[in-house]
A and B are shown apart, each in its own frame.
Chain A
């Protein structure tokens, strides 16, 4: 196929600290009215120096940041970024959340003045209950990892309430689970048990049996995993974990392929989470604000972080009187605009649309797998599994890398030259050599997916014919390849302009990239 030519905007844009002129302004504030009088900070705490900020006009600020947005690909090409489920982010919903009826609302207003937002939260809770079988959702967690932390903190409250927190000290997960599961459990104070994968792509029941017991506080698991493999023994996993008394948490990071097909509750789980910034079409915004919607059974609901939105006699209330609550995971009750956007997505799709999105995402992924399998040097994970994969698949460039020396990072850099967002490689640890993890989702057309595959095929050819072209990529992007050698060097790294100025003056090494 003919690949389109692409050249990113290159503005040679200075760092904002270099812009402007003394006294220039981008925002004026009214003068205090004469009757207010002048007030001062106590002398001991007054600022005496002038913060070294840029001084620019309003238009200069706007132009600068528009230049930066133009030098951001941000999914304006085709992105099959696996594990993150690329979706259309509705501008209708975005516009609604910018209205003062939401943007200029304070969470401590009287609930009578919050009926609209509480109604949306309540109605969306009901939608998620239907999709999961759980009895109550909260939206306080600031992302998927924060929802995992919510589970770990809830498990603490649950076991403390039963007087067993001293004994239930372990969390069991798989080595392939998202890093947030072991990391949040460890931060919450649990010891982590990571089960290895067998050749069939999931840990064995024997390994699970050996790991769980009276010390197990909770099981945190996703299914399907990032390889696109569904663990057919998951019911038995949950049964065994619950037999040992443990709580079972379904990390629904990979919900897209199974939404409308599975119910976490019917599979036996006590709690689950959804990422509204991926599965439910709210933008992730390059790293948040995000939402980890956390839902659980009635039995665990008393331990949820407060407040919980409830409906009583036709009115919506914030129930803060929850003596067994784990406390707060985060201030207030959630990234409300993101909840509104996710609600909008679910309403716009409806039950049929959600089922269709699941169907499309799995069919499209298998179409992509078939086409990727035709490119020499690429290898699917767990090749002995011949079944159709779920909504994403982990692939390996191992054979091609051995043949050419061109690896998955090189590929990612080169993809950007075609106006294609670099692929997602893999979470740690890398289980296959030179991994990449595409996910087709329901957004893209066949033409988009063909273009994406065409770019991969083209780079695979280049890896054999002109490997240096790939290794030195990108060539058509806003900047050339970043030299990462400074990132772990305390003498050279610079996380602020102040640090950069200081080090550039003091160290010849850091000065190599002078502006």
Chain B
């Protein structure tokens, strides 16, 4: 390399002569000499072929912004997409805190040097625990689907059984992740995934089908509340009771933003609870905002099966002072390698800080208020859309923020409807007609606190035009 070239703003030793000073101290003649361990025939033969450097901030910013501006976004357009990533309001203070360099850092840190971050992590778990009515909440894993996968594997280890029952109306995205975690059938530790039928009148789990499939080989029953297609599982306590009677674990997936108005899963018999963290103050980020939590009662048998990081209060050397650190950590893969409980690594812990800030801003009244608001607006949207000729709402009165819109009687496909809506600056619901749920030409619509009544009327009016 040419040491005399222009210094790069991100490398102190790129200043003229700076590297040479170090080479002199080491006593080697040139840079090549420090790579003496690499055999000559290992060096790459193909030269690097990278685009020209944009090493001024002006050029770099222009490149990034000019590319990103080719996207359409959900601020400029009116979007009703959900299904695993949802458009919720992110308070400005959340962005300020998670953007602080001490948090958005490269370093992992320690109990003593990064006390504030550890406290913020503990506050995430504590506030989520208050919403869930559960005493143990792990720092979030990669996504909700990953959290469910780990929870199912926890249940298999706890029970020694290798079958999980879950609703047939599952999100194909999460289900695909779950299947990855359950291993192929050729493998010794494969966990069999068996689906439970739906009650066609309500969209809820068929209790009769659940009963017929529960047996001494079932490790866990998994269901979501609200479910993938927005429905509320009113039989949650009965499902948990049936699972317990069969010696199986009850795993529930919940939207944390619903918990100001919906019963806490800890109160209806859930053993392990999972859910997405993105609704708690994280931007959609084109799907990059996902994260998943896992929670349970504070019993050693559960705690000893967690795969990741549990932050506990701990006393310090100063009487009366508290600090924080990782509890029950030797079971994770850092300490136990292949004998650890699944595996862990860098995950989505910055979103724990976002979630802590977000939950502290809302408090109990905020969670009730946002829950009521979402529910009112979603049901209003379902009502207005249901008035569009040829359009039906499937299970309209049992949903939280998402609901199914069926277009069969309009003679139009969801794809065609969405194309026409997009021309009007509206992103229609997710097309679920190809997901094999037998719901016809149907889309999953999502309405949240960001959608005003006027937005909803604009959607309904557009649908009237489009479906004529």
B and A form one assembly: yes
- B18 neighbours in A (Cβ, 8 Å): 445-446
Which residue, of A30, A89, A286, A445, has the highest number of chain B Cβ atoms within 10 A? Answer: A286
Is B366 touching A102 in the complex (CB atoms < 8 A)?
no
Q: How far is the CA of A427 from the CA of B418 in the complex (A)?
A: 51
Closest A residue to B174 using CB positions: A331
What residues of B have a CB within 8 angstroms of the CB of A335 in the complex?
285, 288
CA distance A230 to B39 in the complex (A): 9
Q: Closest chain B residue to A178 by CB distance?
A: B345
On whether the beta carbons of A48 and B317 are closer than 8 Å, the reply is no
Q: Which B residues are in CB contact (< 8 Å) with A26?
A: 91, 360-363, 366
Q: Does A484 contact B (CB under 8 A)?
A: yes
On chain A, the residues within 8 Å of B309 by CB distance are 287
Contact with B along A474-492 (1 / 0, CB 8 A): 1001111111111110100
Closest chain-B Cβ to A115's Cβ sits at a distance in Å of 4
Find out whether the CB atom of A119 lies under 8 angstroms from the CB atom of B12: no
Q: Given A120-B67, A261-B43, decide whether A498 and B288 contact each other with a Cβ distance below 8 A.
A: no
The complex places the Cα of A389 from the Cα of B33 at a distance, in Å, of 11
**How extensive is the interface on chain A, given as a class?**
35 or more
Tell me, in angstroms, the Cα distance from A421 to B101 when the chains sit together. Answer: 14
Which of the residues A486, A512, A515 comes within 8 Å of B312, measured between beta carbons? A486
Q: Which of B57-65, B159-167, B213-221, B385-393 contacts A (4 or more CB under 8 A)?
A: B57-65
**In the complex with contacts A143-B345, A494-B312, A477-B21 CB distance below 8 A:** no
Asked if residues A486 and B180 are in contact (CB atoms below 8 Å), the reply is: no
B176 touches A327 (CB 8 A): yes
Which A8-54 residues sit within 8 Å CB-CB of chain B?
Answer: 13, 15-17, 20, 23-33, 35-42, 44-54
Q: Considering the chains assembled together, what is the distance between the CA atoms of A123 and B323 in angstroms?
A: 45
A482→B323 contact, CB < 8 A:
yes
Kindly state the separation between the CA atoms of A479 and B136 in the bound complex, as whole angstroms: 24
> Can you give 20 contacting A-B residue pairs, CB < 8 Å?
A17-B126, A45-B263, A65-B353, A74-B107, A102-B71, A108-B430, A117-B67, A119-B70, A143-B142, A165-B186, A286-B109, A289-B348, A330-B290, A348-B53, A349-B53, A413-B112, A479-B316, A479-B323, A483-B323, A500-B313
| Contact call A283/B38, Cβ cutoff below 8 A | no
Question: Are B71 and A179 closer than 8 Å at their CB atoms?
Answer: no
CA distance A422 to B232 in the complex (A): 48
Stretch at the interface among A204-212, A352-360, A458-466: A352-360
- The answer to whether A344 and B60 have CB atoms under 8 Å apart is yes
Q: In the assembly, what is the distance between CA of A25 and CA of B365, in Å?
A: 8
Contact assessment for A284 and B346 in the assembled complex, using a CB-CB cutoff below 8 Å: yes
Residue of B nearest to A90 (CB): B10
Contact A130 B50 (CB under 8 A): yes
User: In the complex the two chains form, what is the Cα distance from A62 to B398 in whole Å?
Assistant: 37
User: Are A331's CB and B177's CB within 8 A?
Assistant: yes
B53 touches A180 (CB 8 A): no
Contact string against B for A residues 151-179, beta-carbon threshold 8 Å, 1 for contact and 0 otherwise: 00100100010000110000000000001
B223 at the interface (CB under 8 A from A): no
**Contact B35–A482 (Cβ < 8 Å):** no
The answer for the CA separation of A31 and B318 in the assembled complex, in Å, is: 48
Check B247 for interface membership: any CB of A closer than 8 A: no
A-contact 0/1 string along B353-371, CB 8 Å cutoff: 1001101111111111111
Interface check A405, CB cutoff 8 A: no
Taking each of A39, A146, A189, A258, which has the highest tally of chain B beta carbons within 10 Å of its own beta carbon?
Answer: A39
Q: Which residues of B contact A232 (CB under 8 A)?
A: 37-39, 42
A239 contacts chain B at the CB level, 8 A cutoff: no
A289 contact from B131, B133, B350, Cβ within 8 A: B350
Return the 6 tightest CB-CB contacts between A and B, nearest first. A350-B53, A145-B345, A513-B315, A332-B287, A74-B102, A113-B72
B139 and A287 within 8 A (CB): yes
Contact (Cβ within 8 A) A262 B347: no
Of the listed stretches A92-100, A241-249, A394-402, chain B binds: A92-100
Give A284 to B366 CA distance when docked, in angstroms: 31
A350 to B53, CA, bound (A): 4
Q: CB distance B334 to A328 under 8 Å?
A: no
Contact A46 B262 (CB under 8 A): yes
Q: Does residue A412 face the partner (Cβ distance < 8 Å to B)?
A: yes
A104-B283, A287-B346, A494-B312 known; A484+B119 contact, CB < 8 A:
no
Q: Say yes or no: is A472 at the interface (Cβ < 8 Å to chain B).
A: yes
Give the docked Cα–Cα distance between A445 and B9 (Å): 12
- Number of chain B interface residues as a range: 35 or more
* Residues of chain B contacted by A487 (CB below 8 angstroms): 312, 314, 325-329
Complex CA–CA separation, A473 to B112 (angstroms)? 9
Convert B340-353 into 0s and 1s, putting 1 for each residue whose CB lies closer than 8 angstroms to a CB of A. Answer: 10111111111101
**A68-B116 contact in complex given A47-B263, A179-B334, C-beta closer than 8 Å:** yes
CB distance from A110 to the nearest CB of B (A): 6
B residues less than 8 Å from A105 (CB atoms): 71-74, 284-286
Q: Please give, as numbers and ranges, the residues of chain A lying within 8 Å of B468 by CB-CB distance.
A: none
Interface assignment of A144: CB less than 8 Å from any CB of chain B: yes
Q: Chain A, 400-415, contact with B by CB distance < 8 Å: what is the 0/1 string? A: 0000000000001101
Contact of A144 with B65 in the complex, beta carbons under 8 Å: no
A97-B282 Cα distance, complex, nearest whole Å: 13
Beyond A388-B37, A442-B14, 5 additional contacts (C-beta under 8 Å) are: A54-B360, A99-B65, A337-B288, A413-B110, A444-B13
Q: How far is the CA of A230 from the CA of B65 in the complex (A)?
A: 40
Contact B349–A496 (Cβ < 8 Å): no
List chain A residues, Cβ under 8 A from B49. Answer: 130, 351
Inter-chain contact count A-B, CB under 8 Å? 775
The minimal Cβ–Cβ distance linking A39 to chain B, given in whole angstroms, is: 4
The residues of B that contact A119 with a CB separation of less than 8 Å are 67, 70
Nearest-neighbour CB distance to chain A for B178, whole angstroms, equals: 9
Q: Are A513 and B376 in contact (CB under 8 A)?
A: no
- Among residues of A, the one whose C-beta sits closest to the C-beta of B150 is A187
Contact of B130 among A93, A186, A498 (CB under 8 A): A498
Judge whether B135 and A67 touch: CB under 8 Å.
Answer: no
Q: A72 vs B349: C-alpha distance in the bound complex, in angstroms? A: 15
Q: Is A347's beta carbon under 8 Å from chain B?
A: yes
Decide: A54 near B51, CB < 8 A? Known: A46-B262, A74-B105, A482-B323. no
**A86 at the B interface (CB under 8 A):** yes
CA distance A179 to B123 in the complex (A): 29
Does A197 sit within 8 A of B, measured CB to CB? Answer: no
Contact call A351/B186, Cβ cutoff below 8 A:
no
Q: Are A262 and B314 in contact (CB under 8 A)?
A: no
CB proximity of B278 to chain A, nearest CB, Å:
10
Contact between A189 and B345, CB atoms less than 8 A apart: no
| Residue A256 interfacial (CB < 8 Å) | no
Q: Are A153 and B312 in contact (CB under 8 A)?
A: no
Bound together, the chains give a CA A204 to CA B102 distance in angstroms of 43
Q: Is the CB of B363 within 8 A of A55?
A: yes
Tell me whether A482 and B325 are in contact (CB under 8 A): yes
With a cutoff of 8 Å between Cβ atoms, the chain B residues found around residue A284 in the complex are 105-108, 346
Residue in A110, A283, A332, A443 whose beta carbon sits within 8 Å of that of B104 in the complex: A283
Asked if A1 is at the interface (CB within 8 A of a chain B CB), the reply is: no
| B97 vs chain A, min Cβ distance (A) | 4
CA–CA, A362 to B19, complex, Å?
Answer: 11
Q: Once the chains are docked, how many angstroms separate the CA of A413 from the CA of B351? A: 27
Decide: A445 and B109 in contact? CB cutoff 8 A: no
User: Closest approach, in angstroms, between the C-beta of B95 and any C-beta of chain A?
Assistant: 7
A338 interfacial contact with B, CB 8 Å: yes
Partner of A104, one of B87, B184, B259, B321: B87
Chain B residues positioned under 8 Å from A115 (CB to CB): 70-71
Q: Which residues of B in the span 375-389 have a Cβ within 8 Å of any Cβ on A? A: 375-380
User: Which of chain B's residues 387-419 have a Cβ closer than 8 Å to chain A?
Assistant: 398, 400, 418-419
